[in-house]
Amino acid sequence: MPATLQSKRHRVEDTADLIEFCFQQGWSDGLPVVPPTEDRVRAMLAAAKLAPDQQVGYIDHRAVSITAEKVAINAVMAGCKPEYMPVVIAAVEAIADPKWGYHGPGTSTGGAAVLMIVNGPIARELDINSGDNLFGPGWRSNLTIGRAVRLVMRNVCGSLPGLLDRGTVGNPGKLSYVIAENETESPWTPLHVERGFRPEQSAVTIVAANGPHQFYNQLSNTAEGVLTTLADDMRISGGVMGQPTYVVVLAGEHMKTIANDGWDKKRIRQFLFDHTKNTHAHLKRTGRMSGAIKPGDETATRPLVETPEDILVVAAGGRAGAFSAYIPGWGSRRSSEAVTKEIKR
Amino acid sequence: MTELLDPTTGAATQTIAFVPRPQALAGKRIALIENTKYNSDKLLERIGELLKSEYGAADARLWRKKNASVPAHQEIIEEVRKTCDVMVAGIGD
């Protein structure tokens, strides 16, 4: 006998529009949702092999317990297939991790989205896009997994826009912001392996993040050339002073150019760290660092991130085109760290 | 008839014992909780001065959070609980 579901039940007349009913309850992010019926919710729970009352995460300062049942209901509404549930569960575990620090990115005027980078075999099995149109539409898994997590934040954790989600301008990634690393074509160590997992494990890494910034270099055929453009683009970006995590997404052409020079992710990180420092004088002149310009400010520098390891390098994006992207994290790394969780099946 | 399951959750129910709001600030010890944003210390110190000069508060002492994006840490809460009557928290930007 399956455990009883505890959620309040709403009885809706057959003549009523169920999708419209969900809008009226305030359950939606603004797009139509799939009505959460018991059979659909149970299929989600079965796919994750979780009892409904299993606690997936606890948001301490909001005293909110996130149960598997609530994650399943929101995953149904987001349009997930049941087999996506293990990814959603791992991502919800991650947002509840104190290192991610829900209070900041969940609430801040800085308008963080939850960037999710999926690694390991599950990314291929679920067809999570790691190629063309990486941050764009077209892939159900990318769009619904991230949406499910945001609906949990909205409906369970209370991150309602204008109330406890106070993003000043927000960003479109707050609807869904999921990518996979292109491990099949990448010449580099996958992100989850760098972060302590085995290649055959699946994992999701979450970063409190601003929107993606695309950059262009069609002229260089060296690693240094491509990364010089990237560093110049990154140098003044995001909060600049906050020293958050950064994610660098290198797509097909750039990935090959950089790899052909023999550069690994560690060397990429170090180069970007070394070439994204700003002088104190520049930061003061442009209203980012407080105080008057003092002797020495023209040569004193502030790194964009605290350490090279705060730049996560991911191989993803289409094969054609001399474009790649970087993503400034929200706030500071001290307020919110990238968190990686195993996707358990 | 279709049954839909509610996706929302409230916070866990717990009883929070709020200290009653004081009727007046005369003689009260004020805690100022500063969130590290630029000028927030100046703003709160000015508020503290006004509470002393215009409302007769006994004392106003400033605490600084670890950074703007985190709740006040436990040491602040413990100290304020022991040594203050009224708390003013605010941000500056």
Query: Interface pTM (ipTM) of the complex?
Result: 0.92
Q: Which residue of B has its CA nearest to A19?
A: B4
Amino acid B92: pLDDT: 63
Amino acid A2: pLDDT: 66
B23: in domain: no
Give residue-wise pLDDT tens across range A219-246: 999 999 999 999 999 999 998 999 999 9
Residue B85 is part of which domain span? 29-90
Q: What is the pTM of this model?
A: 0.92
| Sign of the CA dihedral running A176, A182, A186, A190 | positive
| Sign of the CA dihedral running A60, A98, B81, B47 | negative
Residue A112 is part of which domain span? 12-210+336-345
Spatial CA neighbour of A190 closest among A122, A142, A291: A122
Give residue-wise pLDDT tens across range A117-175: 999 999 999 999 999 999 999 999 999 999 999 999 999 999 999 999 999 999 999 99
Alpha-carbon span B1 to A56, nearest angstrom: 31
Amino acid B93: pLDDT: 63
DSSP string for residues in A266-278: HHHHHHHHHT--E
B58: in domain: yes
Spatial CA neighbour of B45 closest among B65, B31, B28: B31
Amino acid A62: pLDDT: 86
Amino acid A1: pLDDT: 43
B13: in domain: no
A6: in domain: no
Distance from CA of A336 to the nearest CA of B (A): 9
A194: in domain: yes
Give residue-wise pLDDT tens across range B16-49: 777 788 899 999 999 999 988 888 899 999 999 9
**Of B70 and A10, more confident:** A10
The token duo for A83 is 């087999």
Is the CB of residue A66 less than 8 Å away from at least one CB of chain B? yes
pLDDT at A326 > cutoff 80: yes
Q: What is the interface size between A and B, counted as CB pairs within 8 Å?
A: 91
Is the CB of residue A285 less than 8 Å away from at least one CB of chain B? no
| Binding-face residues of B in 70-89 toward A, CB within 8 A | 70-71
Distance from CA of A156 to the nearest CA of B (A): 5
Q: Are A326 and A234 in contact (CB under 8 A)?
A: yes
Examine the domain organization and report whether A295 and A257 are in the same domain: yes
Q: Give chain A's domain count.
A: 2
Confidence of residue A251 (pLDDT cuts 50, 70, 90): very high
Is the CB of residue A118 less than 8 Å away from at least one CB of chain B? no
Give residue-wise pLDDT tens across range A62-94: 889 999 999 999 999 999 999 999 999 999 999
Percent of chain A with pLDDT strictly greater than 70: 99
User: A10–B38: do the CB atoms touch at under 8 Å?
Assistant: no
User: B11–A158: do the CB atoms touch at under 8 Å?
Assistant: yes
A236: in domain: yes
A248: in domain: yes
